[in-house]
Chains A and B, each alone.
Chain A
Amino acid sequence: MKTLIIDAEKCSGCRACETYCSLKHDGECNPAKGRIHVIKWEQEAIFVPINCLRCEEPACEMVCPKGATYRNYMTGAMEVDPHRCIGCLSCVFACPFGATFVDLDNGKVLKCDLCDGDPTCAKVCPTGAIVCEEISKEAYLKLIQNADRIPVLVKQALGRNQ
């Protein structure tokens, strides 16, 4: 089984991941419908892609009143069953990483499904900021390192580290 590993430090902010994601899932080019989103500080060259981290104990799953959020054990992804979802957005607000999104056109929850185990974003990310790797101890360590970098980059972008 593979997982996405995202290193914000490498991101060049091109928005390919968001746009390809919407094209893949909704058949249109619209970053606002991406299941991944890049927070951008162009003038600082700092970009932080936000995507589902597939938590061990996912808040989105726990808060869902209808049990619509579930883990796909084939891929490891947390998915939302659209037939059960009532659009209460509890999962969107509960996610500690802001990585569960909502389609403002129809209230549908947008959640990374890892493209059934073959993520499109990783295929087009030019900088290696998004890669898809087999789950292993090394991959796990990378995830932790990458997570540590995010607050550093955000502080830097906001000018709060000097």
Chain B
Amino acid sequence: MYGWVGNILFIDLTSGDVTTESTESYVENYLGGRGLGVRLIYDHYKPGTDAFDPSNPLIFNTGPLSGTALSGSGRVDVTALSPMSQLRAKSNFGAYWGPELKFAGYDHVMIRGKAAKPCYIWIKDDKVEIRDAEHIWGKDTFETQKAIQEELGDPEIKSVCIGPAGEKLVRFACILTETGDAAGRTGMGAVMGSKNLKAVAVRGSGGIRVARPNEFLELSIKINNEIREHPAYKELSVFGVARGVHMMYQLSFFPVGYFEDVCWDDILEGYSGADYVEKNQVKNMGCFCCPNRCMNFFSKPGIGKGLTSCEPFSGFTGAVWNLNMDTFLEATLMVNKLGMDCTETSAAISLLMELYHHKIITEKDTDGIAMERGSKEAILGTIQKIANREGYGDLLAEGPKVFAETIGTDAVEKVDIVKGLAPHAYEFRAYKGTGLMQAVGHRGDPLPLRGSLLEVDWNHAPDWFQQVAKEQFGDSEAAIPTSYKGKAFSTILSEHMERVADNLGVCKWLYGLFIYYDVNMATEVFNLATGKDWDVPRLLKISERVRNLERMFDVRQGLTRKDDSLPKKFFEEPLKKGKFEGEVLDRDKFEAMKDEYYTLRGWDVKTGIPTREKLEELDLKDVADEVLQK
């Protein structure tokens, strides 16, 4: 095969069995990456079993473009049953592990079973070994990476691993790569921990064959050069998202605190991310073959060194009322080393601060630490407590709701959750389309997609982006944040566009959001790499199939329309300040958007479940037979 390297690796940690299967038979219908992973988990997960049951399959998915010379080809999709929602988990990381896995000869790895004692997996081309990890159990993620390289005597080994939080089954533990990029959301680190699996180390010596190498080379160079001339590149490759965060606060797109307010004057005046980058950033780093390098590597004596990007910037600033960038860096490095999702962790701290502020809890409920807004002790102390499962941290490790239930109904009322996850790091009251995407999304917080970014972009040049919305989504109002019109269709198309990048194993920031605003370029390179001759509608059709199968997995778990919701706060408490002062979601109009979404999707409006007709149209008759018969 070209593009794909052709093998799916199955490892059973209980029996020690290692087998492979060909990738080829899945490709026509599911392409690769995320899409193929969805089919694998649908087929191999035993309905009704718990996320910590050894049978829960943990699956790493690369796509046909992962590891190629194409810009942004370092992405890996991770799936399993989520210990946070009992629905399908989905997370995605970059860096260098995915390409290395392909060089070793595998497109996908599925890990099942549970080892009798701590272990790690060592994949060296066609040799797969399950090795003892008792001596590295307890080490943080940075130490673990190094210890494995030293033990195996090869500094070029790439590992993904868990930290102490994953070992202790903190439900939002993450899987960390060698750079600090992580599969953060949905608790994949906890699933790894439940299998007694500390790390998956990979080294490959093979290559990825490309169908039309000369044309692929030429186009890849052109893409690399185009990206480097793009305005987004000029910002991201220098500041990462550090400056963009400030803009998001100005636009009331990021929440302050626990969605308590937006446009907190102090953060608009005092947010110093850009200065901090200028003073303490060593360089920008990114993923495999990516010129964009949107992550910031900081070094600060007394705190440490490491990468941060994206959501930690708002999670450990505005969400926890913190203006001290040293605390931000310390918190970010700490969650990375301990192996926890920064978004979920910062949201949990944010909840404690809200409860404390409203006098629902006192320091007695949090082991003597006062949860003052912005308190360094509260932020760093809580991170440690969660990761070590000490005191109140042990309760938070089970999720914010478990903690709130021990306090009482007042506290439970305050908890904001969407499909088991904190709805951070985005604010929806003004951005109706983003709200819809969040509510109907496949997990509690799908990164707002093309249609969502259009709502943000609209603020800069309303007329222009309304025109773009008209062209892309057939309705100029799709770009207007406060409008409910055109949002259902823009959500659907955005979901399909996102899955094209995820199925191919490339970065959706580049291929769907910032540089290329559609999937034409992704399709063109796909054809050159794989030798296929597929058109854009065909790739979008696969995305639709994947979206429906994802939905059916969750329907099989009991999901219905009522789960496609947002916390009541977004319907009841209007924004108090800022550009969108007074905005709140109108429940009737919101439900009408959902009706429109289900109708356009060919799903049953009453239940939110795909119809047999739609599933059969998408060659998912077997799924309809299994799930809809019940």
Contact = CB atoms under 8 A, between A and B. Distances in A.
Nearest to B292: A126
Given A12-B286, A14-B290, A16-B289, 12 more contacts: A14-B287, A15-B289, A20-B217, A20-B220, A20-B221, A27-B209, A27-B214, A29-B67, A32-B207, A40-B156, A43-B178, A123-B225
Contacts of A10: 283
Contacts of B289: 14-16, 19
Contacts, number: 110
B297 interface: yes
Interface in B58-72: 67-69, 71
A83 to B, nearest CB: 23
Contacts of B214: 27
A40 B210 CA distance: 26
A117 interface: no
Nearest to A10: B283
Contact of A29 (B71, B207, B282, B284): B207
A44 B178 CA distance: 11
B358 to A, nearest CB: 41
B69 A29 contact: yes
A26 interface: yes
Which residue, A23, A24, A26, has most C-beta atoms of chain B within 10 A? A23
B179 interface: yes
Contacts of A14: 286-291, 293
B507 to A, nearest CB: 12
B139 interface: no
Interface of B: 67-69, 71, 96, 99, 103, 142, 145-146, 155-156, 178-179, 204-210, 213-214, 216-217, 220-221, 224-225, 228, 237, 282-293, 297, 299, 305-306
A144 interface: no
Contacts of B228: 126
Contacts of B284: 12
Contacts of B290: 14, 16
A29 B68 contact: yes
A40 B95 CA distance: 13
A74 B472 CA distance: 51
Contact of A28 (B210, B287, B292): B210
A141 interface: no
B222 to A, nearest CB: 10
Interface in A1-49: 10, 12-16, 19-20, 22-24, 26-33, 39-40, 42-45
A33 B283 CA distance: 27
A104 B210 CA distance: 20
A30 B208 contact: yes
B213 A20 contact: no
A126 B96 contact: no
B287 A45 contact: no
Given A14-B288, A14-B293, A40-B156, A30 B282 contact: no
A30 B207 contact: yes
B121 to A, nearest CB: 20
B597 to A, nearest CB: 39
Interface string A104-128: 1100000000000000100110110
A28 B221 contact: no
A12 to B, nearest CB: 5
Interface in A94-111: 104-105
Contact of A23 (B69, B285, B299): B69
B534 to A, nearest CB: 20
A23 B299 CA distance: 35
B207 A45 contact: no
B79 to A, nearest CB: 25
A20 B69 contact: yes
Contacts of A127: 283, 293
B580 to A, nearest CB: 37
Contacts of A120: 217, 221
Nearest to B102: A29
Contact of B207 (A22, A39, A40): A22
B178 A126 contact: no
Contacts of B207: 22, 26, 28-30, 32-33
Contacts of A44: 305
Given A16-B69, A19-B69, A24 B217 contact: yes
A15 to B, nearest CB: 6
Contacts of A40: 155-156
B208 A28 contact: yes
Which residue, B207, B297, B299, has most C-beta atoms of chain A within 10 A? B207
A123 B291 contact: no
29 contacts: A12-B283, A12-B284, A14-B288, A14-B293, A15-B96, A15-B289, A16-B291, A19-B288, A20-B220, A22-B207, A23-B69, A23-B216, A23-B220, A24-B217, A27-B209, A28-B207, A29-B208, A30-B206, A32-B103, A40-B156, A42-B179, A44-B305, A45-B282, A123-B224, A123-B225, A124-B220, A124-B225, A126-B293, A127-B283
A45 B221 contact: no
A126 B224 contact: yes
A33 B204 CA distance: 12
Nearest 7 pairs of A and B residues by beta carbon: A30-B207, A126-B291, A27-B213, A28-B207, A45-B297, A29-B208, A19-B69
A60 to B, nearest CB: 23
Contacts of A39: 155
Contact of B221 (A12, A26, A29, A124): A124
Nearest to B103: A30
A24 B213 CA distance: 8
A104 B124 CA distance: 14
